[in-house]
Amino acid sequence: MKSRLIPIVAAFAATLAATAAYAETTLTVYTAVEAVDLDRYKATFEKAYPDIKINWVRDSTGVMTAKLLAEKDNPQADVVWGLAATSLLLLKGEGMLEPYAPAGVEKLDPRFVDTSTPPTWTGMDAYVAAICFNTAEAAKIGLAAPKSWKDLTKPEYKGHVVMPNPNSSGTGFLDVSAWLQMFGEEEAWKFMDGLHENISAYTHSGSKPCKMAGAGETIVGVSFEFPGAKAKSAGAPIDIIFPEEGSGWEAEATAIIAGTANLEAAKKLVDFSVSKEANEMYNQGYAVLAYPGIAKPVENLPDNVADHMIKNDFEWAANNRKAILAEWAKRYDSKSEPKT
């Protein structure tokens, strides 16, 4: 029996090996980009690299970061394509990212590339903090549109402002870290004290304040530009305001997970992610791209969104994140208990 089995097994093994040699590589790619964009990104990439297939694992930024950190000792992902740069810096601090300088990285805006050489992450596009302002509801009570962040502390906005909670939303954190960088610590906390007086709710998600403004649940939603443009296209009576002091921003970025078994394919994906072609693809939703000079205007957004972006120190934000969040929670989370 045994002797007869051996040739069959050998033939089977040979077939397996042969198929493996010709088989395409499948990359497990973790992402937090909008669900509607996934198919388009996948199709464009697979057209450029027919021998590599993408297997998306998608979730919101917070969930994805938690998932990656939970898998620290047993990573499941090959590549992260489309996660906040601040999250990637947390992973970098755990030694989870593989440094790699993709072909053509020198063409990118340096603000969108990790400062280490070789870099561990490279940016794709940016989302920029903005205020969504419901003009229909504002007209009803005669409320003027805010021009700056500091306008939001004026008494007439009391109870009409919603912003994301930085302890559960990346967008909320980018707002707070931007205010701290723009105004300096002391002034920024004073500003937030005033803002807190006017806030009606802190949401868990960064796009929700804008959608609430769109639905008239609030008049002012502190959010970012992308959901604003989308809500406006859907018929929401809102204006998207970029405050005059400047806006915090976050880069969506790409990185290779250290220890991947498909390093060569992963590198090809990262090469593609910084290419001009890929950046044109990101342009369908995002107005600010890592690749300078090619961005076309996005519906309902001004042409000069990039000019509102402050000089953002990701490393400072990542290394001070814990302290900032603790201070924020101490000041504003404990106040939200019922008034006795």
Task: State the residues that interact with other proteins by CB under 8 A.
Answer: 34-36, 56-60, 62-63, 65-66, 69-71, 73-74, 76, 89-90, 92-95, 114-116, 136, 165, 167-169, 200-205, 207-212, 214-218, 227, 234-237, 314-315, 318-322, 325-326, 329-330, 333-334, 336-338
E strand residue ranges, 119-206: 122-134, 161-164, 199-203
Which residue lies nearer to other proteins by CB, 176 or 212?
212
Which residue lies nearer to other proteins by CB, 60 or 262?
60
CB of 9 to other proteins, least distance (A): 25
Pairing verdict, β 25-31 and 249-257: unpaired
Type of residue numbered 159: G
CB of 171 to other proteins, least distance (A): 11
Nearby residues of 299 by Cβ (< 8 Å), 6 or more positions away: 229, 233
CB of 209 to other proteins, least distance (A): 8
Which residue lies nearer to other proteins by CB, 106 or 313?
313
Which residue lies nearer to other proteins by CB, 163 or 295?
163
CB of 249 to other proteins, least distance (A): 18
CB of 13 to other proteins, least distance (A): 24
Which residue lies nearer to other proteins by CB, 198 or 279?
198
CB of 71 to other proteins, least distance (A): 7
CB of 268 to other proteins, least distance (A): 22
Type of residue numbered 113: V
| Sign of the CA dihedral running 274, 59, 311, 241 | positive
How far are the Cα atoms of 74, 167, 207, 209, 328 from residue 204, in angstroms, in the given order? Answer: 29, 8, 9, 9, 15
Which residue lies nearer to other proteins by CB, 253 or 295?
253
CB of 105 to other proteins, least distance (A): 17
Nearby residues of 198 by Cβ (< 8 Å), 6 or more positions away: 152, 153, 154, 155, 157, 158, 159, 160, 161
Which residue lies nearer to other proteins by CB, 241 or 295?
241
| DSSP label of 284 | T
Long-range contacts: 279-287, Cβ < 8 Å, 24+? Answer: 279/124, 279/125, 281/40, 281/41, 281/44, 282/124, 282/125, 282/252, 283/125, 284/37, 284/40, 285/34, 285/37, 285/125, 285/226, 286/124, 286/125, 286/126, 286/127, 286/226, 286/252, 287/128, 287/225
- Which of 178, 188, 165, 187 is CA-nearest to residue 333? 165
Which residue lies nearer to other proteins by CB, 2 or 339?
339
Contact 170, 131 (CB under 8 A): no
Which residue lies nearer to other proteins by CB, 152 or 318?
318
How far apart (Å, rounded) are the C-alpha atoms in residues 41 and 54?
Answer: 10
CB of 6 to other proteins, least distance (A): 30
